[in-house]
Structure 1
């Protein structure tokens, strides 16, 4: 199945059923790993809100949720400059933090977020991301402990991810295709 968003073509990459199954497994893993602890889930807006909402439905341990918002993308390319739009709204001191990302690409935004959170002196930080592009990653992160799917270096939309603000509402995840591939 192909779709068009803002004159850019996309094809189906991951169906909702696959995504939901993987989120259930991540939830089970987090419940086991954080049993008898009260972690705070920190969602990175705007992209992670759908993933985090579905993930929290699978969490049955005591936990809290808060959000941060940073941006670096313009269209389908990173501007290379990270802008903090909403900072931390609670103290993370001595807390177990689970940073929830929609996608880890180069790691530049993740590095920025981790540096910001380590200043708060948390007990631990673990990263849970729906998507990760291992070939794009510029730095190794020991904090990345929970990964939904490893994907190629394609631009993707849907399930919270957008292109120029559009496509976040799509249930499935789609990858960009070049116009030369379209028949």
Structure 2
């Protein structure tokens, strides 16, 4: 699997230090509050687990299964909510965690849906934000790293279901795609 990696963009120790800083920012913005955290599956699972262990224990953790890549290397342009039932967020402050902000469609669709469901407020956090013009108007409130507009794997991000468990963010060799 690691033979398929072209280069490491963000090393494990660099990710760890940035998660410490992100946790400080989130704790500052939500002091002592019970916060509903919604993790977007499957990509944000690794990032979220490591980040949430750094936050106060006043959390309710929910997961939401959404898809827009459908196994490819670019967003399909269509966001599918794969869960039949969404978490109850009415009157609650919500933090949505995702792996990567790319076109913005997924994050925009999730924020809009949670707002329609009566969330008091919705903040967003991502491990990675691509430096590009987005299809949907959205920016994350908390960003781990800004990266170029390239396809990345590792630390929760995958290519056809593989590479999520790499402890760093990297790129794939062309022949591995």
TM-score (norm 2): 0.90
TM-score (norm 1): 0.88
Q: Tell me whether 1:133 sits opposite 2:130 in the alignment.
A: yes
Q: Tell me whether 1:15 sits opposite 2:11 in the alignment.
A: yes
Out of 45, 48, 58, which is 1:49 matched to?
A: 45
Q: 1:80 is paired with a residue of what secondary structure?
A: coil
Change (3 A) 1:153 1:176: farther
Task: Kindly state the Cα deviation for residue 177 of structure 1 after the two structures are TM-superposed.
Answer: 4.8
1:156 maps to which residue? 152
- Aligned pair count? 173
How do 1:1-183 residues align onto structure 2 when only pairs under 5 Å count? 3-4=3-4, 10-73=6-69, 74-87=71-84, 89-141=86-138, 144-178=140-174
Task: Kindly state the Cα deviation for residue 77 of structure 1 after the two structures are TM-superposed.
Answer: 2.0
Are the aligned partners of 1:101 and 1:130 in contact in 2 as well (CA < 8 Å)? yes
**Greater share of strand residues, 1 or 2?**
1
Any stretches of 5+ residues in structure 2 without a counterpart? none
Change (3 A) 1:31 1:59: same
- Separation in 1, partners of 2:118, 2:96: 14
Q: Per-residue displacement from partner, 1:59-111 (whole Å, max 9, x unpaired)?
A: 01511100101112132122222222125543101111000010000101111
Task: Tell me how large the CA RMSD over aligned residues is.
Answer: 1.7
Task: Kindly state the Cα deviation for residue 140 of structure 1 after the two structures are TM-superposed.
Answer: 3.4
Task: Kindly state the Cα deviation for residue 178 of structure 1 after the two structures are TM-superposed.
Answer: 4.5
- Separation in 2, partners of 1:15, 1:129: 17
Change (3 A) 1:19 1:88: farther
- Separation in 1, partners of 2:75, 2:86: 26
Any stretches of 5+ residues in structure 1 without a counterpart? none
Task: Kindly state the Cα deviation for residue 11 of structure 1 after the two structures are TM-superposed.
Answer: 1.4
- Separation in 1, partners of 2:91, 2:98: 21
